[in-house]
Each structure stands twice: as structure tokens, then as C-alpha cells.
């Protein structure tokens, strides 16, 4: 198989983290402490709503929306976290959400990055116009074409099946756009060199582009996964049978016409964040690849 002879030096070295400019050791320590203090304060502020969510999940329903806000529950009702599994078939819902999110994310990654290569590295007439059409579709609020889409799905008898959600969401423009931008920043010389070595376009995509685009693929996977996982309106419109419901629908079922079980909703919301968290932590490795800095302390 062909190998690269003269890849440009620009990409020869693996990407690294940004070294923080540490001028003098003494000042560096003070700055470090200050930086940490600032980060901790900001992180605490950022997590306040999440704390409210957790605290609500340990209350009774009629204690959630007290005025003023009660940050500490009067009594900690850990039983909410046990009860919720009996109240709604949460395990089924979690499984459904996971299935949809994983399927859609994989399809989005595969087809999106594949198409992005065509949009960024293959020159052909009409390419940019077509790409603009792609971006244009993101600009239309979904509510505007929800009904034509639904009619189409109804005719194809795909409503109340997972097919409808997968087909509607797996081929969005977002993934194509994100991957194209990333490929744009990979120098063309690299592809040229590979062509000279006799690699086909598909070979370049598979052997050069995909391995280089791990960080972008990771962020696309993460964002697609989160968006699908948290999507409410799509599953709500298309899934009627209870056994197909996703977590988001399950949580909304705690809101009735005249009353709402907010504590249960927050319990479910807290539980439903865990899978996202797992995906996020897993994907982190790709945002920063652990490479020793070249003699500079970060």
C-alpha cells in the first residue's frame, strides 16, 4: 500500500496543547493559584441550576416550586430515585433513547464525514451551491416543515416507528458542515502527495482524513448524541406507542393536564444526564491528546 513520502512539515508533528506562558517560576505559582480560584468560582456558578435540579429531585412534588427557592430539601427523599423505576418504565425509555442516539450518531458520523470530504477536497462544478443549499436547510425552523414531513411519513406508513426519527435526523446538514470545516483546515498538499503516491480519493478519505479528524469526529459524535438524546419534539410527534417512547417523553408524562409531578421530573432528568456524561468523559480524550509538551510546562 502506498505510503506518504513528503508530507508537509505542518502536520508532521502531532497537535499539542497550548503552553501557558510561564515567565518566572515565582509569579507562575501565584498565577496558577489565581487561575484555579477563578476556574472554581466559575464552575460553581455554572453548576447552580444543576444543583437546583438535584435538590428538587430529593423533594416532594409540592415542595419544588416554593417561593423563595429552598435549596436544601426539608427532608431528603432518596426514595424518589427508587420510585421512579416503578412509576414509569424508565429502563425501557433509556434503552430506546440510547438506541436512537447511537444509531443516529453513527449514521451522522459516517455519511456526514464522507460527504464532507466530497465538499472539501474534491472540486466539481456546482459544489458550493449544493453546499449552500445544505446550510440553508438548517436555517429553516423545523416547525415550518413539520407538517409536510409528517404527511410524507404518514403516507409511507413510517409514523410510530423508529424509522421516521432515524431517517429525519441522521442526514442533517450539521455533520456535513462541521466535518467540511475541519477538513478545510487540513492542508491540500497532504492529499496531493497521497494522490501522487497513487491513493484513490476513497483511500485518502479512509487512510488520511479519518485518522486525522478524530477530534472533530469526537465533537460531532458528542453533540449529535446530546441533541438526539435531549430531543423532545421529534419523538413526541412521531412516536405514539408507549413502548417506543424515549426518556424525554417519559419525563414529560409527569406533567398532567391539571397537575405536574416536578420532583419526579427532576429525578428523571438527573438520571438521564448520566449517559451524556459518560459519552462526554469518553470523548474528552480526543479533545486533548495527551502528549508531553516540548519542555514547556503548561
Partner 1 sequence: MILSHASGRARERRHLIRSIAVAAALTLAATACGSGGQAGGSGDGGSTLTVAVWNMAKTPEFKALFDAFQAANPGVKIQPVDILADDYADKVTTMLAGGDSTDVITMKNVTDYSRYSSRGQLTDITDLVKSGDTSKLAGLDAYNVKNAYFALPYRQDFWLLYYNKAYFDKAGVKMPENLTWDEYAKLAQQLTKEEGGKKVYGTYHHTWRSVVQAISAAQTGGDQLGGDYGFFTDQYNLALGLQKAGATLDFGTATAQKSDYKTMFETGATAMLPMGTWYIASILAQKEKGATDVDWALAPMPQRPDGTGVTTFGSPTAFAVNKRAKNADLAKKFVQFAAGKAGADAIAKIGVVPALQSPEITSAYFGIKGMPTDELSKKAFQPDKVVLEMPVSEHTSDVDTILKEEHELIMVGDKTVADGIKSMNERVKNEVLN
Partner 2 sequence: MTHVITQPAPSSAPPSAGPRSKRAWRPILIGWSFILPNFVGFALFTLIPMLAAFALAFLDWDSYSTPEWVGLKNFQRLLSDENFHVALRNTLFYAAGHIPLTLIVALGLAMALNRKIRGVQFFRTAAFFPYITSLVAVAVVWNMLFNPTAGPINQALEAIGIAHPPRWVASTDWAMPAVIVTSVWRDMGYYMVLYLAGLQTIPNEYYEAARVDGANAWQRFWSVTLPCLRPTTFFVLVMLTIQSFKVLDLIVVMTDGGPGRSTLVLAQLVYREGITEGHFGYSSAIALVLFVIVLTVTVVQFRLNERRSA
Q: Which of residues 143-172 bind partner 1 (CB under 8 A)?
A: 146-147, 150-157, 159-160
* Closest CB 128 distance from partner 2, rounded Å: 8
Q: Are 17 and 298 in contact (CB under 8 A)?
A: yes
Q: Bridge partners of 260?
A: 255
Q: Is 168 in the site for partner 2 (CB under 8 A)?
A: yes
Separation between Cα atoms, residue 174 and residue 180, nearest integer Å: 10
Q: Which of residues 78-107 bind partner 1 (CB under 8 A)?
A: 88
List the one residue out of 99, 135, 86, 87 whose CA is nearest residue 235.
99
Q: Are 176 and 118 in contact (CB under 8 A)?
A: no
Cis, bond preceding 173 (omega within 30 deg of 0):
no
What, of partner 1, partner 2, none, does residue 127 touch, CB below 5 to 8 Å by kind? Answer: partner 2
Q: Which of residues 76-135 bind partner 2 (CB under 8 A)?
A: 110-112, 114-115, 117-119, 122-125, 127, 130, 132-135
Distances from the Cα of 224 to the Cαs of 9, 176, 214, 268, in angstroms? 33, 12, 15, 21
Q: Which of residues 127-166 bind partner 2 (CB under 8 A)?
A: 127, 130, 132-141, 143-149, 152
* Closest CB 244 distance from partner 2, rounded Å: 19
88, with CB counted inside 10 A (0-12, 13-18, 19+), is buried
Q: Is 62 in the site for partner 1 (CB under 8 A)?
A: yes
What, of partner 2, partner 1, none, does residue 203 touch, CB below 5 to 8 Å by kind? Answer: partner 2
* Closest CB 178 distance from partner 2, rounded Å: 6
CA 82 to chain centre: 28
Residue selected from 69, 122, 184, 291 as contacting partner 1 according to rule CB under 8 A: 69
Separation between Cα atoms, residue 231 and residue 246, nearest integer Å: 9
Q: In the complex with partner 2, which residue's Cβ is closer, 173 or 239?
A: 173
Residues that bind partner 1 (CB under 8 A): 60-67, 69, 88, 146-147, 150-157, 159-160, 200, 233, 236-237, 240, 242, 249, 252-260, 262
Amino acid at each position: 500500500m502506498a505510503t506518504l513520502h513528503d508530507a508537509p512539515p505542518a502536520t508532521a508533528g502531532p497537535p499539542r496543547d497550548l503552553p501557558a506562558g510561564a515567565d518566572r517560576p515565582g509569579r507562575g505559582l501565584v498565577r496558577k493559584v489565581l487561575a484555579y480560584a477563578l476556574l472554581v468560582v466559575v464552575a460553581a456558578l455554572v453548576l447552580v441550576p444543576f444543583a437546583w435540579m438535584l435538590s428538587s429531585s430529593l423533594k416532594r412534588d409540592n415542595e419544588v416550586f416554593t417561593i423563595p427557592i429552598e435549596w436544601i430539601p426539608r427532608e431528603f427523599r432518596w426514595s424518589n430515585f427508587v420510585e421512579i423505576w416503578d412509576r414509569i418504565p424508565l429502563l425501557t425509555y433509556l434503552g430506546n433513547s440510547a438506541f436512537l442516539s447511537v444509531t443516529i450518531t453513527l449514521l451522522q458520523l459516517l455519511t456526514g464525514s464522507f460527504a464532507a470530504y466530497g465538499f472539501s477536497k474534491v472540486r466539481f462544478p456546482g459544489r458550493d451551491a449544493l453546499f449552500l443549499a445544505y446550510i440553508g436547510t438548517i436555517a429553516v425552523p423545523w416547525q415550518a416543515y413539520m407538517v409536510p414531513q409528517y404527511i410524507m411519513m404518514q403516507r409511507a406508513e413510517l409514523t410510530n416507528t423508529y424509522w421516521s426519527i432515524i431517517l429525519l435526523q441522521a442526514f442533517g446538514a450539521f455533520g456535513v458542515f462541521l466535518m467540511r470545516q475541519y477538513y478545510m483546515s487540513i492542508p491540500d498538499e497532504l492529499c496531493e502527495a497521497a494522490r501522487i503516491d497513487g491513493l484513490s480519493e476513497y483511500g485518502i478519505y479512509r487512510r488520511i482524513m479519518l485518522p486525522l479528524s478524530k477530534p472533530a469526529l469526537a465533537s460531532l459524535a458528542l453533540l449529535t448524541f446530546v441533541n438526539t438524546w435531549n430531543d423532545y419534539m421529534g419523538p413526541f410527534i412521531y412516536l405514539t406507542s408507549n413502548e417506543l417512547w424515549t426518556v424525554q417523553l417519559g419525563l414529560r408524562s409527569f406533567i398532567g393536564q391539571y397537575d405536574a409531578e416536578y420532583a419526579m421530573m427532576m429525578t428523571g432528568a438527573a438520571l438521564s444526564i448520566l449517559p451524556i456524561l459518560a459519552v462526554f468523559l469518553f470523548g474528552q480524550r480526543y479533545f486533548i491528546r495527551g502528549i508531553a509538551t516540548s519542555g514547556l510546562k503548561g
